[in-house]
């Protein structure tokens, strides 16, 4: 056992770190799905855009300024996407909204391609995060250790927000019953916007942590982490924030252990196998509530 | 009985149009001299025909059966690979599979047939057989994948199919499968479109139109049959369909397998067109593009998908090229550089999705019967061709 | 006098989470009868339909159709622990039979829906024609290649005959959802008839109809029963209709049967009147 742990410690550490980053993206998926029943295909690309914005801002301003600017820009982007691409389709069939989400994803990727010229952009070193440390004989970056801490703090803050504030209560109400909440005088559009903005805020922080581990950002960087975070959200039970976080850690750790076994090709495949298995065995995820369709 | 007569006229006009088109394509390959215009036109036509087929097959699934599947690129890749693997000539294996000892499969169907039937007949029949194999491989995978996936509801189905396509792509690039798929290297030297000719009569442009035409015709026949109606019933109301005795799983599976078969055929044609094939481009972005073409054309319209495909390809490869070249009518424009075309494109698509969600055709079809009536000057009776939705 | 029983429910219980929607419901429906299932809103009538037609798997109990067990269930595992209904182990040894709705329809049980579920992109004609798909003698290849044109023609002819008989032939090329409400209900019945049922389940066929239409509907229901040799089970709120055509009535409230009998008996049943009008605590 201890032998296994020793050999795999770097992978487990990396897994916990990646898991935390996935968790921050997954929350965006799960909250939006909880309220709009929409897989926001563009969320992964928002995450990528946050990475690119960091590349450009850090080149032109000090890091202390660049980080808030990145977060702000991402939140505004999320707000704008919701207002432009999803709000007009509120009463349209679900397939139309999903197609719109795919359209936004396509647009963001193409814009990124245009601005970067298709070249990988080198991600800046964020002081502190990118430093190396040695723990239990394994060398890693500070970001690996700090990610789970940041993730947990943010999740606790978010859960408190949702349970204690008026806006949080409105979010819960809307996700339970869209029409009735509207009748009860909840300003649906504000609640939805707030949901997108929170999701994007977390995605921006996730992107700061995630890309610190990698060297560069390309226009398709958002795709895979986005899909995996979505799977994490499904695994935990879509609509459930703790579920999404646990799902994200499970996926992050498992895929890194698989990588550690030298099966990198299958580390992505694993995520989707997990998705299929969970959907067949327990379609509502670990923490999801059972819903029966009315006939 | 009146309608039947009109249908016959429509059919006749349709057949004539098709014949004219096919003759034109043959002329284009053989008689009309190459110039800068045809050099742009011919590839657009070929690729447009291939994309038409793939989009129609996607429409069968997404538009007519109401299954939101995003695995199309994966099935195309399967088809393309299956085609290429079975048609690489024997003596080219060492060169193509240079990192994998010449590969595992050591025969080529077109080559084997050429030895028996002569070169051109062998190439044509051999490649048609390989195309069939491509379809069957894609269909078989769809049947396997469908067993778990088709039990899922709308958006979960989308994610699961997307996921499967990504897994397939990863596995095809895995060096463990190298002797078959050549790992992450190109497959090449297989029978391409330029090998399709009878004697000196070149059929390179005719051939994709011919295969795509037959395939689309089959899909149209299917959609207008009892099974097609069952598919539409599932799309409109699953619960009612089930209550009327339509087995959901069986029919969804049927639609999924048939759609994937034709996606595989489309993939094979794409491989023939490109002359090389590699797993990398078959990512989710490709499926997104196909889906957006279907939306532009109109979800639930076969002719819409075809129009959408030709428009998309023409804009992408030809009409909007100037956006990438940095100059417009001789003037240099500051924003125009590599990638700008795709940005403009995505914006157009978003506008269509948001403001013209019915696309070009909605769920109507171009009907030659309706055309015939219009030509004769009598008013169209509405009803069948243009159901107001 | 005693006719063979076409459909029988035995101790059907349906529990959703902690809520018992149907509790120990038993019914017997003889051949050729029109049986009504009535009760206040939320009594569990539609749930009973859904248990018969395979939409839900009942938690406990069995359903027989023409002397054959078509649905059988008993609570297991977690469901058994939370089970609140009766007869938890009455069928414990039995093999669970949980058919899909299409299998039930194939056996000869057709239904309509409370909230009309016509296929909205299809015309009136196509709606009925599509319901014939189940019994069509063709496979996907023969259908695509038009190998069996006779079969297709037979389906179309039968559909047309059915529409003519229902007085819907005038609307054959209209979109089903563009019909007036009453005709949509009738089209739903025609569509159900197209599956060649022996037993027809009608879920509130008169909902939203005026008295005149309701009267016409009762005549119509009797007509199709006689013409097709059907047995009919219906859920209805219009008491005029129920009392006018039902041979036998079951009344349920909060998922349990509170009365059964001939229409005249039900009309004077104290419990039924209380259930419908509500009863004050101190009475």
Here the ipTM equals: 0.91
Residue A291: inside a domain = no
Contacts across the B-C interface (CB distance below 8 Å)? 109
Listed residues C154, C177, C194: the one ending a domain: C194
Q: Which of A88, A95, A276 sits opposite B160 (nearest CB)?
A: A276
Q: In total, how many domains does chain C have?
A: 2
* pLDDT at A4 > cutoff 80: no
**Chain A residue with the nearest C-alpha to that of B288:** A102
Q: Contact at 8 Å (CB) between C209 and C230?
A: no
* pLDDT at A3 > cutoff 70: no
* pLDDT at A39 > cutoff 90: no
Q: Based on the number of CB atoms within 10 Å of its own CB, is C115 exposed (0-12), middle (13-18) or buried (19 or more)?
A: exposed
Residue identified by tokens 């284009």 is B28
| Contacts of C216 by beta carbon, 8 Å cutoff, 6+ apart | none
Query: Are the Cβ atoms of C110 and B383 closer than 8 angstroms?
Result: no
Q: Contact at 8 Å (CB) between B269 and B285?
A: no
- The length of chain B is 389
Of C56, C65, C59, give the one whose Cα is nearest residue C23.
C59
Vertex B289: Cα angle to B287 and B291 (nearest 5): 70
* pLDDT at C36 > cutoff 70: yes
Which pLDDT does position B381 carry in this prediction? 38
| Angstrom distance (rounded) from CA A266 to CA B186 | 21
For A18, half-sphere exposure in the C-beta direction (CA atoms, 13 angstrom radius) is: 24
Which pLDDT does position A14 carry in this prediction? 86
**With an 8 Å Cβ cutoff, is C133 touching chain B?**
yes
Q: Which domain holds residue C203?
A: 1-108+197-283
**With an 8 Å Cβ cutoff, is C12 touching chain B?**
no
Q: Based on the number of CB atoms within 10 Å of its own CB, is B277 exposed (0-12), middle (13-18) or buried (19 or more)?
A: buried
Listed residues C168, C194, C220: the one ending a domain: C194
pLDDT, mean of residues A250-267? 86
Q: Which domain holds residue A273?
A: 2-122+134-281
Give residue A277's pLDDT band: very low, low, confident or very high (50, 70, 90): confident
| Residue A61, phi then psi, degrees to nearest 5 | -150, 165
Q: What is the pLDDT of residues C147-164, one digit of tens each?
A: 888 888 999 999 999 999
pLDDT, mean of residues A253-272? 84
Tokens of C106: 């194939």
CATH number at residue A41: 1.10.3470
Of B292, B347, B356, B357, give the one whose Cα is nearest residue B320.
B347
pLDDT, mean of residues C245-271? 91
Cα distance from N-terminal residue to C-terminal residue, chain B: 26
* pLDDT at A293 > cutoff 70: no
Q: What is the pLDDT of residues A105-147, one digit of tens each?
A: 999 999 999 988 888 999 988 887 777 777 777 777 888 888 9
Q: Contact at 8 Å (CB) between A188 and A86?
A: no
Query: Are the Cβ atoms of C113 and B240 closer than 8 angstroms?
Result: yes
Higher per-residue pLDDT: A292 or A104: A104
* Helix, strand or coil, per DSSP, at residue C5: strand
Of A175, A269, A284, give the one whose Cα is nearest residue A235.
A284
pLDDT beneath 70, residues of chain B? 1-7, 326-332, 369-389
For B42, half-sphere exposure in the C-beta direction (CA atoms, 13 angstrom radius) is: 23
* Helix, strand or coil, per DSSP, at residue C151: helix
Contacts 24+ apart (CB under 8 A), C224-227: C224/C189, C224/C193, C224/C200, C225/C32, C225/C34
Of B231, B73, B223, B67, give the one whose Cα is nearest residue B150.
B67
Which pLDDT does position B374 carry in this prediction? 65
Burial B112-128 (b: 16+ CB within 10 A, else e): ebbeeeeebebbbbbbb
| Angstrom distance (rounded) from CA A50 to CA A207 | 6
Residue A226: inside a domain = yes
Same domain, C141 and C207: no
Pairing of the two strands C34-38 and C248-253 = parallel
Q: What is the enclosing helix (H) or strand (E) of A134?
A: strand A132-135
Q: Contact at 8 Å (CB) between C69 and C58?
A: no
Cα distance from N-terminal residue to C-terminal residue, chain C: 41
User: Which CATH architecture describes the domain B2-376?
Assistant: Orthogonal Bundle (1.10)
Instruction: List the domain boundaries for chain B.
Output: 2-376
Query: Are the Cβ atoms of A279 and B345 closer than 8 angstroms?
Result: no
- Can you give the pTM of this predicted structure? 0.90
Least confident of A135-144, A242-251, A284-293, B339-348: A284-293
Q: What is the mean pLDDT of chain C?
A: 89
| Contacts of C157 by beta carbon, 8 Å cutoff, 6+ apart | none
Q: What is the pLDDT of residues A40-64, one digit of tens each?
A: 999 999 999 999 999 999 999 898 8
| Residue B228, phi then psi, degrees to nearest 5 | -60, -40
Residue A16: inside a domain = yes
Q: What is the mean pLDDT of chain A?
A: 87
Residues in chain C closer than 8 A to A292 (CB atoms) = 16
Query: Are the Cβ atoms of B291 and A102 closer than 8 angstroms?
Result: yes
Q: In total, how many domains does chain A have?
A: 1
Listed residues C144, C166, C194: the one ending a domain: C194
Chain A nearest C-alpha distance from C129 (Å): 23
Give the C-alpha distances (Å, rounded to integers) separating B115 from B96, B120, B199: 22, 10, 15
Residue A261: inside a domain = yes
Same domain, C76 and C40: yes
Vertex A49: Cα angle to A36 and B156 (nearest 5): 35
**Chain B residue with the nearest C-alpha to that of A283:** B152
Residues in chain A closer than 8 A to B242 (CB atoms) = none
Work out whether the CA dihedral B129, B137, B304, C176 comes out positive or negative: positive
Cα distance from N-terminal residue to C-terminal residue, chain A: 53
Same domain, C239 and C171: no
* Helix, strand or coil, per DSSP, at residue A249: helix
| Residue C272, phi then psi, degrees to nearest 5 | -65, -45
Which pLDDT does position B2 carry in this prediction? 41
Q: Contact at 8 Å (CB) between C35 and C250?
A: yes
**With an 8 Å Cβ cutoff, is A183 touching chain C?**
no
Same domain, C255 and C279: yes
């Amino acid at each position: 056992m201890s032998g296994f742990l020793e050999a795999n410690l770097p992978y487990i550490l990396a897994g916990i770190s990646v898991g935390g980053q996935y968790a921050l993206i997954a929350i965006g998926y799960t909250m939006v799905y909880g309220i709009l029943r929409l897989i926001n295909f563009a969320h992964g690309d928002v995450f990528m855009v946050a990475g690119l914005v960091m590349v450009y801002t850090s080149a032109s301003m000090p890091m202390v300024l660049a980080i808030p600017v990145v977060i702000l820009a991402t939140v505004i982007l999320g707000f704008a996407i919701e207002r432009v691409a999803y709000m007009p389709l509120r009463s349209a069939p679900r397939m139309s909204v999903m197609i719109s989400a795919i359209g936004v994803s396509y647009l963001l990727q193409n814009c990124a391609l245009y601005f970067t010229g298709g070249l990988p952009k080198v991600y800046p070193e964020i002081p502190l995060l990118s430093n190396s440390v040695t723990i239990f004989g394994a060398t890693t970056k500070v970001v690996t250790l700090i990610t789970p801490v940041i993730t947990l703090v943010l999740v606790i803050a978010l859960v408190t927000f949702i349970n204690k504030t008026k806006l949080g209560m409105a979010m819960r109400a809307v996700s339970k019953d869209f029409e009735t909440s509207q009748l009860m005088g909840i300003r649906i559009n504000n609640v939805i916007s707030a949901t997108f903005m929170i999701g994007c805020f977390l995605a921006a922080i996730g992107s700061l942590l995630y890309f610190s581990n990698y060297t560069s950002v390309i226009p398709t960087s958002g795709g895979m982490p986005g899909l995996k975070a979505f799977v994490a959200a499904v695994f935990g039970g879509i609509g459930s924030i703790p579920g999404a976080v646990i799902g994200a850690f499970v996926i992050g750790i498992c895929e890194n252990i698989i990588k550690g076994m030298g099966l990198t090709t299958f580390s992505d495949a694993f995520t989707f196998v997990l998705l299929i298995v969970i959907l067949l065995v327990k379609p509502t995820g670990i923490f999801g509530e059972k819903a029966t369709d009315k006939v | 009985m009146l309608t039947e007569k009109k249908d016959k006229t429509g059919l006749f006009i349709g057949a004539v149009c098709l014949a004219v088109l096919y003759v034109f394509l043959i002329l284009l390959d053989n008689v009309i001299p190459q110039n800068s215009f045809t050099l742009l036109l011919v590839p657009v036509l070929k690729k447009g025909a291939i994309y038409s087929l793939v989009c129609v097959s996607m429409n069968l699934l997404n538009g007519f059966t109401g299954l939101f599947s995003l695995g199309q690129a994966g099935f195309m890749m399967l088809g393309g690979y299956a085609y290429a693997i079975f048609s690489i000539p024997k003596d080219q294996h060492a060169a193509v599979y240079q990192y994998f000892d010449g590969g595992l499969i050591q025969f080529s169907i077109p080559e084997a047939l050429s030895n028996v039937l002569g070169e051109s007949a062998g190439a044509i029949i051999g490649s048609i057989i390989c195309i069939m194999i491509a379809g069957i491989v894609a269909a078989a995978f769809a049947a396997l994948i469908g067993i778990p996936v088709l039990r899922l509801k709308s958006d979960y189905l989308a994610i699961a199919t997307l996921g499967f396509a990504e897994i397939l792509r990863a596995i095809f690039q895995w060096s463990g499968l190298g002797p078959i798929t050549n790992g992450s290297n190109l497959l090449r030297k297989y029978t391409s479109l330029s090998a399709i000719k009878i004697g000196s009569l070149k059929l390179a442009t005719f051939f994709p139109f011919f295969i795509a035409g037959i395939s689309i015709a089959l899909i149209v026949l299917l959609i207008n049959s009892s099974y097609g109606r069952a598919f539409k019933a599932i799309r409109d109301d699953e619960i009612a369909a089930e209550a009327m005795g339509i087995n959901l799983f069986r029919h969804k599976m049927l639609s999924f397998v048939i759609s994937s078969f034709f996606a595989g055929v489309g993939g094979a044609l794409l491989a023939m067109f490109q002359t090389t094939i590699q797993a990398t481009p078959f990512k989710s972005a490709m499926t997104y593009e196909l889906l957006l073409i279907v939306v532009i054309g109109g979800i639930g319209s076969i002719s819409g998908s075809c129009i959408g495909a030709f428009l998309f390809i023409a804009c992408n490869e030809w009409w909007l090229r100037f956006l990438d070249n940095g100059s417009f009518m001789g003037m240099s424009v500051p924003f125009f550089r590599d990638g700008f075309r795709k940005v403009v494109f995505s914006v157009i698509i978003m506008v269509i999705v948001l403001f013209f969600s019915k696309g070009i055709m909605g769920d109507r079809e171009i009907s030659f019967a309706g055309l015939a009536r219009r030509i004769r000057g009598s008013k169209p009776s509405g009803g069948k061709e243009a159901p107001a939705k | 006098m005693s006719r063979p029983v076409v459909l029988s429910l035995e101790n059907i219980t349906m529990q959703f989470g902690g809520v018992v929607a149907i509790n120990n419901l038993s019914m017997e429906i003889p051949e050729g009868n029109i049986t009504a299932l009535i009760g206040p809103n939320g009594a569990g009538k539609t749930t009973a339909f859904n248990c018969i037609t395979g939409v839900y798997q009942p938690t406990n109990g069995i359903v027989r159709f023409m002397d054959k067990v078509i649905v059988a269930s008993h609570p297991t595992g977690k469901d058994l622990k939370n089970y609140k209904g009766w007869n938890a182990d009455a069928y414990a040894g039995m093999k669970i039979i949980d058919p899909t709705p299409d299998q039930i329809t194939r056996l000869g049980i057709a239904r309509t829906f409370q909230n009309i579920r016509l296929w909205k992109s299809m015309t009136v004609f196509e709606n009925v024609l599509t319901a014939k798909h189940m019994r069509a003698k063709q496979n996907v290849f023969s259908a695509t290649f038009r190998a069996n044109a006779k079969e297709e023609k037979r389906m179309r002819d039968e559909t047309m005959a059915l529409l003519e008989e229902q007085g819907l032939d005038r609307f054959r090329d209209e979109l089903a959802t563009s019909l007036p409400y009453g005709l949509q209900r009738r089209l739903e019945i025609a569509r159900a008839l197209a599956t060649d049922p022996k037993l027809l389940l009608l879920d509130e066929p008169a909902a939203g109809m005026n008295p005149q239409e309701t009267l016409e509907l009762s005549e119509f229901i009797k007509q199709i029963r006689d013409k097709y040799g059907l047995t009919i089970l219906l859920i209805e709120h219009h008491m005029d209709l129920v009392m006018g055509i039902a041979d036998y009535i079951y009344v349920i409230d909060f998922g349990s049967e509170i009365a059964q009998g001939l229409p005249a008996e039900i009309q004077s049943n104290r419990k039924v009147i209380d259930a419908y009008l509500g009863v004050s605590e101190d009475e």
